[in-house]
Amino acid sequence: MPTKFNDAVKNWKLLVAADIVVFTFCDSELKVLLVKRKYAPGVGKWAIPGGFVRETESLETAALRELKEETGLEKEGYLEQLYTFGDVARDPRARVISVSFLVLVNEPEKIKLKSTDDATEAKWFSVKKIPELSFGQSHKEILIYALKRLRWKFEYTNVALSLLPEHFTLSDLQQIYETMYNDKVDKRNFRKKILSLDLVEPLEQVRQEAGRPALLYKAKSKKLKMFARIY
């Protein structure tokens, strides 16, 4: 008889949560979406949006459902599973195992964030000014992990394209890299590299702001592509 399975069912006491770290880029800053908690623990404090996975839905489905329920955010560009945090004491209420996700959205100014049943407020925070978070260190740990992974993806993939609108200039793209690396990048070398990677194609439109009009580009594909190698 399958004793281990029976044991496990008898002791059915684990909860699985999906937590979603949503990044966007706006006002020359990388921002993350947080919600103000309505319920214990941590009422009134900010937290990473998330909630419990139901028996009948996949992890991704749960993540997107929770995200919508808590922030009103519906259609995202990029979604990736990050890591599963399972320390025994993460949540004071019960043993909760959290599967975390990374979501990237572009054009945040077009998104209406709603106050909802589960959170009194949802708001973008610059990653340089994160408020105190509920759930002790555990949400902070998730956020730090997400940031690390995102920076890494910038170095090795075309993921930056998911933070830009359909049409963008090479300077827009460069600015995202500069923000991400927290460093200036040489314009000529940057353009040479990006164009040589064949990631974008020029349109026949320009965008006019201050100064000389800038040629607009679009992504050839937003499918994740990887680069480089050790040996």
Partner DNA sequence: ACAAAAGTGTTCCTAATACACCCATGA
Partner DNA sequence: TCATGGGTGTATTAGGAACACTTTTGT
Closest CA to 22 of 83, 84, 98, 79: 79
d(CA 23, CA 118): 20
Total of residues contacting DNA (CB under 7 A): 20
Instruction: Determine which residue in the list 27, 40, 208, 209 makes contact with its own copies, applying CB under 8 A.
Output: 40
Residues 212, 21: Cα–Cα separation, whole Å: 37
C-alpha 66/C-alpha 213 separation (Å) is 42
**Window contacting DNA (CB under 7 A); options: 7-15, 52-60, 156-164, 184-192:** 184-192
The verdict on 191 binding DNA (CB under 7 A) reads yes
Q: Binding residue for DNA (CB under 7 A) from 130, 144, 215, 224?
A: 215
Whether residue 121 lies in the annotated active site: yes
Contact 78, 162 (CB under 8 A): yes
| 118 contact, one of DNA, its own copies, none, CB 5-8 Å limit per kind | its own copies
The helix (run of H) or strand (run of E) holding residue 182 is none
Closer to its own copies by Cβ: residue 106 or 174: 174
Q: How far is CA 1 from the centre of its chain?
A: 44
**120-159 binders of its own copies (CB under 8 A):** 154-158
- The answer to whether residue 13 forms part of the interface with its own copies (CB under 8 A) is yes
Count of residues that bind its own copies according to CB under 8 A: 53
Distance CA 194, CA 149 (A): 21
Q: Which helix (H) or strand (E) covers residue 102, if one does?
A: strand 95-104
The nearest distance, CB 7 to its own copies, in angstroms, is: 8
Six-digit token pair at 150?
A: 């995102």
Residues designated as active site: 121
| Interface ranges with its own copies (CB under 8 A) | 1-5, 7-9, 11-16, 39-40, 51-59, 81, 83-84, 86-88, 93-95, 97, 99, 118, 154-158, 177, 185, 190, 193-194, 197, 227-231
